[in-house]
């Protein structure tokens, strides 16, 4: 059931989806203090493994130093070149590709070729910035703010659910990134309602679950949606898919299927979806007022025997392809949404079924208007929805 009893206002005006000032305010007030997903443990399992990325415009390198993960700036203290231009790799030392300067896990310089040319030099002053890194299950998160709450506080009451859904009993089935020329809030808001399902997903779902089969839950740092599976009972394909998945859970995992689907948003940009056999992470990274990147990692169950592992691998691969197909159906519409927002002179409105969007917009507006006494962004939810 929905919480709202009547239609809701569309809080954010159209310019909030293309304004330079709005974008820079969101980066400074929301994202600079958030935890950011950067990769999974399997990418950094061996000493010397590293991945590079940008967080809020800051190039970073996440690296396995003797079995422990550390995050340092990926910009050399010498002449500002990226230490590595590779997205991932393995090297015995943290070494700049340009002049060979080397650094340790604390960011301190360890070796400077022809160091005599830089005398006098205080080695303690030649140091890379370091950042915080934490994991939940196999997911690795980074925070640029030394004073921000820890990852478990950031994820809140969903922390244990997320940890269990991405633990060692699960395996990455697909990892993809999609560059989109739209504001980051467009993919987020699309994920918070099923109202678009009949128009955008007529072959896969046909209809949305409806109010009687939908449960909306609201917490300070997000919301979540829950329904019984199949998602759309009128879809024969969906119903068959869920019957087979339930049988696999019984036969090869030795447990009773819950036949539940959950989709969570952890503000501002972390989307999680769960079934008995699938755990999905979809993070939307802002790159500009009209540009973002959707990062998608889908995990499947692994099984304990040879046969169960093979069956789970096959099922997980098939489920991943279905997920990608559904996401692409949504992604194809986003440019038209952006073009409409660029030109719109309407305030917009939200139906009762779109109440999760209302809470998201309310939260975002609060963050841009308020800070608490510690300087951290506020965490108030939507008073209209509980």
Does 153 map to a domain? Answer: no
Q: Are residues 119 and 228 in the same domain?
A: no
Contact 165, 193 (CB under 8 A): no
What's the rounded Cα separation, in Å, for the pair 63 and 81?
18
Range list of H helices, the chain = 20-29, 151-155, 159-165, 185-191, 197-200, 236-253, 306-331, 334-343, 355-369
pLDDT tens profile 29-51: 999 999 999 999 999 999 999 99
Q: Are residues 231 and 321 in the same domain?
A: yes
Residue with tokens 């922390």: 159
Q: Given this model, what pLDDT does residue 252 score? A: 85
Q: Are residues 326 and 296 in the same domain?
A: yes
Contact 166, 139 (CB under 8 A): yes
Does 86 map to a domain? Answer: yes
pLDDT tens profile 116-134: 999 998 877 889 999 999 9
DSSP label at residue 185: H
Q: Are residues 212 and 307 in the same domain?
A: yes
Token readout for 191 is: 């994920």
Does 159 map to a domain? Answer: no
pLDDT cut 90: percent of the chain above it: 82
Token readout for 70 is: 């550390």
CA-to-CA dists, residue 222 to 92, 138, 207, angstroms: 41, 22, 25
Q: Are residues 202 and 350 in the same domain?
A: yes
Q: Are residues 76 and 21 in the same domain?
A: no
Does 152 map to a domain? Answer: no
Does 257 map to a domain? Answer: yes
Q: Given this model, what pLDDT does residue 371 score? A: 52
Q: Given this model, what pLDDT does residue 92 score? A: 96
Q: Are residues 181 and 206 in the same domain?
A: yes
pLDDT tens profile 128-185: 999 999 999 999 999 999 999 999 999 999 999 999 999 999 999 999 999 999 999 9
Does 156 map to a domain? Answer: no
What's the rounded Cα separation, in Å, for the pair 246 and 362?
38
Q: Are residues 318 and 179 in the same domain?
A: yes
Q: Given this model, what pLDDT does residue 383 score? A: 41
CATH number at residue 227: 3.90.380.10
In this prediction the pTM is: 0.92
Q: Given this model, what pLDDT does residue 255 score? A: 87
pLDDT tens profile 319-362: 999 999 999 999 999 999 999 999 999 999 999 999 999 999 99
Q: Are residues 19 and 46 in the same domain?
A: no
CATH number at residue 85: 2.102.10.10
> Domain residues for 181?
8-32+169-369
Long-range contacts of 369-375 (CB under 8 A, 24+ apart): 371/29, 374/147, 375/147
Residue (of 119, 100, 251, 263) closest to 188 by Cα position: 263
Q: Are residues 217 and 272 in the same domain?
A: yes
Q: Are residues 220 and 360 in the same domain?
A: yes
Instruction: Give mean pLDDT, residues 195-208.
Output: 87
Residue (of 248, 219, 229, 209) closest to 161 by Cα position: 219
Q: Are residues 346 and 258 in the same domain?
A: yes
Does 255 map to a domain? Answer: yes
Does 164 map to a domain? Answer: no
Number of domains in the chain: 2
């Amino acid at each position: 059931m929905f919480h709202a009893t009547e239609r809701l206002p569309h809080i954010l005006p159209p310019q909030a989806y293309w304004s330079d000032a709005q974008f820079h305010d969101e980066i400074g007030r929301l994202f600079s203090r958030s935890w950011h997903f950067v990769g999974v443990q399997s990418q950094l399992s061996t000493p010397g493994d590293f991945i590079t990325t940008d967080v809020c415009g800051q190039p970073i390198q996440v690296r396995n130093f003797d079995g422990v993960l550390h995050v340092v700036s990926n910009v050399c203290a010498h002449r500002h070149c990226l230490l590595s231009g590779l997205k991932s790799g393995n090297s015995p030392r943290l070494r700049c590709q340009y002049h060979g300067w080397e650094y340790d896990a604390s960011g301190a310089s360890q070796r400077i070729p022809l160091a005599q040319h830089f005398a006098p030099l205080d080695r303690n002053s030649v140091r890379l910035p370091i950042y915080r890194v934490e994991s939940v299950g196999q997911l690795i998160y980074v925070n640029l703010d030394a004073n921000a709450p820890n990852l478990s506080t950031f994820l809140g009451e969903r922390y244990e659910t997320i940890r269990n859904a991405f633990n060692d009993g699960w395996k990455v089935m697909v990892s993809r990134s999609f560059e989109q020329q739209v504001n980051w809030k467009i993919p987020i808001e699309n994920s918070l309602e099923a109202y678009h399902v009949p128009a955008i997903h007529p072959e896969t779902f046909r209809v949305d679950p409806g109010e009687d089969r939908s449960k909306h839950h609201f917490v300070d740092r997000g919301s979540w949606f829950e329904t019984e599976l199949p998602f759309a009972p009128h879809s024969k394909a969906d119903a068959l898919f869920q019957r087979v998945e339930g049988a696999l859970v019984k036969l090869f995992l030795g447990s009773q299927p819950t036949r539940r689907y959950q989709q969570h948003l952890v503000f501002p940009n972390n989307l999680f979806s769960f079934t008995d056999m699938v755990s999905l992470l979809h993070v939307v990274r802002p790159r500009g007022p009209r540009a973002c990147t959707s990062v998608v990692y889908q995990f499947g169950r692994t099984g304990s025997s040879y046969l169960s592992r093979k069956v789970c691998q096959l099922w997980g691969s098939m489920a991943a392809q279905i997920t990608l197909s559904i996401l692409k159906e949504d992604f194809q519409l986003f440019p038209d949404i952006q073009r409409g927002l660029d030109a719109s002179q309407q305030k917009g409105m939200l139906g009762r079924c779109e109440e999760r969007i209302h809470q998201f917009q309310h939260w975002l507006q609060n963050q841009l208007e308020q800070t608490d006494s510690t300087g951290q962004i506020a965490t108030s939810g939507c008073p209209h929805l509980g």
